[in-house]
């Protein structure tokens, strides 16, 4: 196919998305091809989100999709070792998984090995039990057109499956490299399954090394945390001016499982939308959702979260904190749905913001829908500036205004960073925050 | 070292300081006493640079420099230290990190390199002992959940660490029991090296039994209405402030 036959990407999205499907390689099984076809149909029906779409009221994604003439990119490019190494978290003893545009780079990776650990490309694992059972299984994805777009047109991603009782001894650092020589729309697709009693810590970071070409990532990750399994999942979004991102995580938890999700969004990606949903499909689960977003300049950061309490006796705790500098824009949505059967639910949610830029702004909306009667739910929202008393105290000790602000931002975010269980990562994040504030 | 000339200041349109004159030389210990609401903390705040106070008249010179022109952090770097009457709690800022930052910012201002971790710890240990400041408080958040006495000790501990030329202590004695008072006073006395000057703001003569002042000033209604030596403090303890107020009214009505 020659390039002049291809509709411009945005036009194809809005007018003829089928034209794009010819650009992605076929998937391995008929079932998958069928899933893809259905997603394509669904996307054609619902279309791109608009400001009238309830879940996108404060985020005009079309503006960002139109911003550059993107092309759908489904392949990897070679990425220099020093680029990959630059993403290392100092002092962190970990396994490393390098993905370029979603494609596993085995020779640049150090994968965990051993009984019960499956880790590899999605495309190489389409017949694995976990894959067959759980791929695209999560209901929450159906409502989100960007997720449908991913299902319809993804190329590859990371598949992890831990067999029952398998505990990975070190954190797994997943390095998402987005690399392109022309403006590109890239759609990785991942699935991680932790079977009964399995446990892992997975740290994701991303890098887009090119500054002249824009990468727009629309990634989807499904995580499955089976009975009594425990997943610590850290997503570190260290941004770049030349990067845009829609990141969808759909998690499901089964009986007695624990899921700890951390999302750090740091400057300077102009547009970030994180969809995070957790479906509680078993009772006695624990869920912790922690978020910290620090935005500067004209950044737009939208965290859209959904705690779906389906079963009784589950606890969820959500804390998102934002530091909005300059003219940045924050959006937070925290939906908590407690089904009628989900008695004895504890669901707490809090969103606190520091509005430091004169033109900074936050839109925060809790959405609580509660159909059970024996539940404890709460939500709260704050937006404010630094306490003048505290600032004066610090300055009266010789600490300059900028350093004082850095200390205060560190203090503001400390309940999130303190909850980070990997010391090297915690230290790294604290340093990052200090560095951002000192610039 | 410090010269205050005819200082007038207001807060939220309310006149608080109404012409303060004060001269403090190297190594001196000055006590400022006076009834509640007379402007003692306000004077301390204006000297430290709290920005809700507006200076409407007067001058303040510190080692030949115009103090009122400086940002609060620069006053501290030049050597002014205020021990707060009500130290703030800052959750999430560790005491240790706070002190290290402060010390190094002051050092950088003076063109000195940052302290090595080992030197810093050594200094910390040494100064902790001075005021019997528990080392387990060091890693906690700044003043968070500290008792009243612990907060005050922390102020003096910071004073010892930052080693200013002029230390203003605003009611450091209030909320201290007699043992804590003795410890804090001993700490302050050990810091008296003939170079450092002190302004001790207090309500009670009690503190001045431990910290012997060279001068005692009575601040009333925004003005220093009497200056004396440590005997004045004793007299105030016995007779209260009313006789001074009367004396003042007599003077003013003349
Ligand atoms: N922020 C403020 N706004 C209005 N009035 C204030 C403020 N701070 C202090 N004052 C007033 O200034 C006067 C002096 O207070 P202060 O300096 O705290 O006295 P002292 O320390 O001698 O007890 C009091 O009348 C007090 O109410
Ligand atoms: Mg006072």
Q: What angle do CA A190, A320, A332 make, to 5 degrees?
A: 80
What ipTM, to 2 d.p.? 0.96
CA-to-CA distance for B229 and A341, rounded, in angstroms? Answer: 78
**pLDDT confidence of A3, banded at 50, 70, 90?**
very low
Q: Which of A259, A282, A305 is the endpoint of a domain?
A: A282
Cα distance between residue A162 and residue A193, in whole Å: 6
Question: Does an H or E element contain A64, and which?
Answer: helix A61-66
For the segment B152-162, the average pLDDT, to the nearest whole number, is: 94
Q: Which residue has the tokens 């390098």?
A: A98
**Residues in CB range of A237: below 8 A, 6 or more apart:** A206, A245, A247, A263, A264, A265, A266, A269, A272, A274
Q: Ligand 1, atom 26: nearest CA belongs to which residue?
A: B37
Residue B35 has pLDDT above 70, yes or no: yes
E strand spans, A325-391? 329-338, 345-355, 361-370, 375-384
pTM of the predicted protein model: 0.86
Q: What is the mean pLDDT of residues A44-56?
A: 95
Pairing of strands A361-370, A375-384: unpaired
Q: Which pLDDT score, from 0 to 100, does residue A16 have?
A: 87
Task: Give me the phi and psi of A52, to 5 degrees please.
Answer: -90, -15
Residue A24 lies in a domain: yes
- How many other CB atoms are found less than 10 A from the CB of residue A315? 18
Residue A1 pLDDT > 70: no
- Cβ-Cβ contacts under 8 Å, A408 against chain B: 90, 93
Atom number, ligand 1, closest to the C-alpha of residue B52: 1
Mutate to test the interface with B, among A393, A405, A429, A434 (most CBs of B within 10 A): A393
- Give the pLDDT mean for B58-80: 97
Which 8-state DSSP code applies to residue A103? E
> H or E stretch including B4?
strand B2-11
Note the pLDDT of residue B12: 94
Do the beta carbons of residue B87 and residue B135 sit within 8 Å? no
In the predicted structure, residue B75 carries a pLDDT above the cut 60: yes
Confidence of residue B204 (pLDDT cuts 50, 70, 90): confident
Give the separation between CA A176 and CA B54, rounded to whole angstroms: 54
Q: Specify which residues B11 forms β-bridges with.
A: B14, B53
A53 phi and psi angles, rounded to 5 deg: -70, 125
- Give residue ranges with CB within 6 A of ligand 1: B 11-12, 14, 16, 34, 36-42, 52
Q: B92 to chain A, minimum CA–CA distance in Å?
A: 4
The Cα angle at residue A370 between residues A366 and A374, in degrees rounded to 5: 125
Please check the confidence at residue A299 and state whether its pLDDT lies above 60.
Answer: yes
Cβ atoms A147, A276 nearer than 8 A: no
Domain finish residue from A252, A282, A312: A282
pLDDT at residue B253 in the model: 61
In a domain, B168, yes or no: yes
Answer whether residue B232 is part of any domain. Answer: yes
Protein residue whose Cα sits closest to atom 13 of ligand 1: B37
Residues A202, A94: Cα–Cα separation, whole Å? 10
B238 found inside a domain? yes
**Cβ–Cβ gap B73/A395 under 8 Å:** yes
The pLDDT, as a whole number, for residue A2 is 41
Q: Give residues with Cβ within 8 angstroms of A135, minimum separation 6.
A: A32, A35, A126, A191, A222
Taking all residues of chain B, what is their mean pLDDT, rounded to a whole number? Answer: 93
The parent domain of residue A203 ranges over 8-282
How close is the nearest chain B Cα to the Cα of A165, in Å? 37
- Asked, for residue B142, whether it belongs to a domain, the answer is no
Which residue is closest to B71 within chain A, CA to CA? A395
Ligand 1 centroid to Cα of residue B101, in Å, is 31
Q: Which of B89, B1, B82 is nearest to B43 (CA)?
A: B82
Q: What percent of chain A stands above pLDDT 70?
A: 98
CA angle A292, A293, A299 (to 5 degrees): 175
Residue-level pLDDT at A4: 46
Interchain CB distance below 8 Å, A393 and B87 = yes
For residue B194, being part of any structural domain is answered with: yes
- Which residue puts its alpha carbon closest to atom 10 of ligand 1? B11
A335: which DSSP letter?
A: E
Angle at B164 between CA B160 and CA B166, to 5 degrees: 115
Taking the centre of ligand 1 as the mean of its atom positions, its distance from the CA of residue B169, in whole angstroms, is 17
What number is the average pLDDT over the span B176-205?
92
Residues B84-137: tens digit of each pLDDT: 999 999 998 999 999 999 999 999 999 999 999 999 999 999 999 888 888 888
Distance CA B194, CA B186 (A): 16
| B106: chain A residues, CB-CB within 8 Å | 398
- Residue whose Cα lies nearest atom 1 of ligand 1: it is B11
Does residue A168 lie in a domain region? yes
**Does the pLDDT value for residue A24 go beyond 70?**
yes
DSSP class of residue B115 equals: P
Give the number of the atom of ligand 1 that is nearest the alpha carbon of residue B43: 17
The pair of structure tokens assigned to A54 is 């309830």
Q: Evaluate whether A263 touches A272 at the Cβ level (below 8 Å).
A: no
Ligand closest to B170 (CA) is 2
* Domain assignment of residue B226, yes or no: yes
Higher pLDDT, A8 or A417: A417
pLDDT of residue B249: 76
- Domains: count for chain A: 2
Contacts 24+ apart (CB under 8 A), A84-89: A84/A108, A84/A175, A84/A177, A86/A207, A87/A175, A87/A177, A87/A205, A87/A207, A88/A173, A89/A173, A89/A203, A89/A205, A89/A424, A89/A425, A89/A428
| Pairing mode of beta strands A243-253, A271-280 | parallel
Q: Is residue A37 domain-resident?
A: yes
Note whether A104 and A223 are same-domain residues.
yes
Question: What letter does residue A102 receive in the DSSP assignment?
Answer: T
For the domain that residue B247 is a member of, what is the CATH number? Answer: 3.40.50.300
Q: How far apart are CA B254 and CA B241, in angstroms?
A: 20
Within a domain: A50: yes
Find residues 30-89 of chain B whose CB sits inside 8 Å of chain A. 48-52, 71-73, 75-77, 81-82, 84, 87-88
How far, in Å, is the centroid of ligand 1 from the Cα of A350? 36
pLDDT for the residue numbered B244: 83
Interface contact flag, A396 B72, Cβ < 8 Å: yes
B96 CB near a chain A CB, below 8 Å?
Answer: no
Q: Look at strands A95-100 and A158-162 and give their pairing.
A: unpaired
Residue at a domain's end among A251, A282, A313? A282
Residues 180-209 of B with CB under 8 A from A: none
- Residue-wise pLDDT for A73-95, tens only, equals 999 999 999 999 999 999 999 99
Mutual angle of helices B242-253 and B230-239, in 10-degree steps: 100
Total domains in chain B come to: 1
Q: What is the mean pLDDT of chain A?
A: 95
Find out whether A24 and A1 touch, Cβ atoms under 8 Å. no
* Dihedral-angle region of residue B130 (phi above 0 means left; psi in -120 to 50 means alpha; beta otherwise): alpha
The mean-pLDDT minimum among A151-155, A166-170, B199-203, B245-249 falls in: B245-249
Instruction: Determine, yes or no, domain membership for B145.
Output: no
From the CA of B62, how far away is ligand 2's center (Å)? 23
Q: Measured between CA atoms, how close is A187 to chain B, in angstroms?
A: 38
Instruction: Quote the domain boundaries for residue B57.
Output: 2-87+157-253
Q: Please confirm whether the linkage preceding A268 is cis (ω < 30° from 0).
A: yes
Interface list for A 30-69 with B (CB within 8 A) = none
Looking at CA atoms only, how far is residue B47 from chain A in angstroms? 10
Q: Which residue in chain A is spatially nearest to B85 when comparing CA positions?
A: A393
* Residue recorded with tokens 């998402």: A176
Domain assignment present for A109: yes
CA torsion sign, B169 to B171 to B175 to B179? positive
Mean pLDDT throughout A125-141? 94
Query: With an 8 Å Cβ cutoff, are A411 and B91 in contact?
Result: yes
Pocket test for ligand 1, best of B37, B40, B46, B171 (most atoms within 8 A of CB): B37
Q: Is B221 inside a domain boundary?
A: yes
Q: Which residue of B has its CA nearest to A387?
A: B90
Q: What is the pLDDT of residues A369-392, one digit of tens each?
A: 999 999 999 999 999 999 999 999
Phi, psi of B28 (to 5 degrees): -85, 155
Query: What pLDDT is stored for residue B101 in this prediction?
Result: 94
Residue A328 lies in a domain: no
Q: Which residues of A touch B141 (CB under 8 A)?
A: 411
Whether residue A333 is predicted with pLDDT greater than 60 in this model: the reply is: yes
Is A398 in contact with B102 (Cβ distance < 8 A)? yes
| Spacing, Cα A257 to ligand 2 middle (Å) | 55
């Amino acid at each position: 196919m020659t390039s002049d036959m291809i509709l411009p990407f945005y036009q194809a999205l809005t007018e003829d998305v089928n034209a794009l499907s010819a650009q992605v390689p076929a998937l391995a099984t008929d079932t998958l091809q069928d899933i893809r076809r259905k997603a394509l149909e669904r996307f054609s029906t619902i279309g791109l989100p608009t400001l009238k779409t309830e879940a996108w009221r404060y985020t005009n994604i079309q503006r960002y999709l139109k911003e550059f003439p993107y092309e759908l990119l489904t392949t990897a490019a070679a990425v220099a070792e020093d680029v990959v190494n630059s993403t290392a978290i100092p002092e962190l003893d970990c396994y490393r998984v390098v993905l370029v545009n979603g494609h596993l780079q085995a020779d640049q990776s150090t994968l965990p090995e051993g009984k019960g650990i499956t880790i590899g490309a999605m495309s190489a694992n389409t017949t694995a039990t976990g894959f067959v059972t759980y791929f695209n299984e999560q209901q929450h994805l159906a409502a989100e057109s960007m997720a449908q777009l991913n299902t319809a047109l993804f190329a590859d991603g990371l598949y992890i499956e831990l067999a029952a009782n398998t505990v990975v001894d070190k954190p797994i650092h997943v390095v998402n490299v987005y690399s392109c020589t022309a403006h590109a729309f890239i759609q990785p697709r991942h699935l991680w399954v932790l079977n009964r009693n399995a446990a892992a810590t997975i740290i994701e970071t991303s890098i887009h090394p090119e500054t002249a070409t824009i990468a727009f990532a629309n990634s989807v990750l499904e995580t499955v945390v089976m009975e009594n399994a425990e997943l610590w999942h850290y997503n570190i979004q260290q941004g770049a001016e030349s990067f845009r991102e829609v990141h969808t995580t759909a998690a499901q938890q089964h009986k007695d499982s624990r899921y700890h999700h951390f999302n750090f969004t740091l400057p300077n990606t102009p547009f970030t939308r994180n969809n995070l949903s957790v479906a509680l499909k078993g009772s006695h689960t624990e869920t912790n959702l922690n978020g910290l977003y620090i935005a500067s300049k004209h950044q737009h950061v939208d965290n859209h979260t959904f705690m779906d309490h389906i079963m009784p006796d589950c606890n969820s705790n959500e804390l998102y904190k934002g530091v909005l500098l300059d003219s940045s824009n924050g959006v937070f949505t925290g939906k908590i749905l407690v089904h009628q059967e989900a008695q004895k639910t504890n669901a707490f949610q809090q969103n606190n913001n520091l509005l430091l830029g004169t033109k900074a702004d936050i839109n925060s909306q809790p959405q609580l829908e509660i159909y059970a009667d024996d539940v404890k739910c709460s939500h709260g929202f704050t937006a404010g500036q630094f306490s003048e008393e505290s600032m004066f105290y610090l300055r009266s000790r010789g600490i300059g205004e900028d350093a004082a602000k850095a200390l205060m931002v560190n203090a503001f975010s400390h309940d999130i960073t303190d909850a980070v269980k990997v010391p090297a990562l915690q230290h790294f994040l604290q340093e990052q925050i200090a560095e951002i504030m000192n610039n | 070292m410090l010269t205050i000339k005819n200082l007038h200041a207001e807060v939220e349109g309310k006149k608080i300081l109404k012409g303060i004159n004060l001269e403090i030389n190297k190594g001196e210990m000055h006590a400022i006493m006076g009834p509640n609401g007379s402007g003692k903390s306000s004077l301390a705040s204006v000297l430290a640079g709290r920005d809700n106070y507006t200076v409407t008249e007067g001058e303040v010179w510190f080692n030949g420099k115009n103090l009122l022109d400086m940002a609060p952090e620069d006053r501290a770097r030049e050597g002014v230290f205020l021990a707060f009457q009500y130290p703030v709690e800052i959750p999430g800022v560790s005491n240790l990190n706070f002190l290290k930052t402060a010390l190094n910012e002051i050092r950088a201002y003076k063109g000195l390199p940052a302290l090595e971790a080992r030197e810093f710890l050594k200094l910390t240990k040494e100064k902790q002992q001075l005021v019997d400041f528990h080392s387990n408080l060091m890693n906690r958040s700044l003043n968070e959940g500290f008792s009243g006495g612990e907060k005050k000790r922390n102020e003096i501990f910071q004073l010892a660490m930052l080693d200013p030329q002029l230390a203003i202590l605003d009611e450091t004695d209030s909320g201290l029991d007699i043992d804590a008072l003795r410890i804090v006073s001993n700490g302050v006395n050990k810091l008296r090296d003939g170079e450092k000057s002190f302004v001790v703001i207090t309500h009670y003569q009690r503190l001045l039994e431990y910290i012997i002042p060279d001068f005692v000033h009575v601040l009333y209604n925004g003005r220093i209405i009497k200056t004396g030596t440590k005997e004045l403090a004793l007299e105030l303890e016995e007779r209260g402030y009313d006789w001074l107020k009367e004396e003042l009214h007599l003077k003013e009505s003349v």
